Amino acid sequence: MDKIRYYKGLHKVKVVTESIGYYIIEAQEAFEDIVDDKKIKVKKGEQRIVTPDTLYKEMTFLPPIQEHAYELKMEKKLKHLIADQEKQNQK
């Protein structure tokens, strides 16, 4: 097996075993992970069970989180209202 992958695109790991729906990985470096809203320190050499969609072939940075469409719409509406108020105050 011995495939080198990047867990969540950031942390170097080695795939130890592949099974249907899950991989067993071994950390090649120490890092912090968040599981069930709790921070967990993963030590070098520690093994974990993860889903395949969290492993990447190359180191990548996750795309920025998109704001909710409703928030963007309301922000645009607020800017428009402020611009209208400023126009009325200038008259």
Q: Tell me 51's DSSP state.
A: -
2 vs 29 pLDDT, higher one: 29
Beta bridge partners of 19: 22
Q: Which of 7-11, 31-35, 69-73 has the lowest mean pLDDT?
A: 69-73
From CA 62, how far away is CA 87, in angstroms rounded?
41
Higher pLDDT, 69 or 26: 26
Number of domains in the chain: 1
H/E element holding 17?
Answer: strand 11-19
Q: What is the mean pLDDT of the chain?
A: 87
Could you tell me the two tokens for 25? 């990985």
User: Helices marked H in 9-91 — which ranges?
Assistant: 69-90
Residue 77 pLDDT level (bands cut at 50, 70, 90):
very high
Question: Which one-letter DSSP state was computed for residue 7?
Answer: E
Q: Which domain, by its residues, includes 80?
A: 3-90
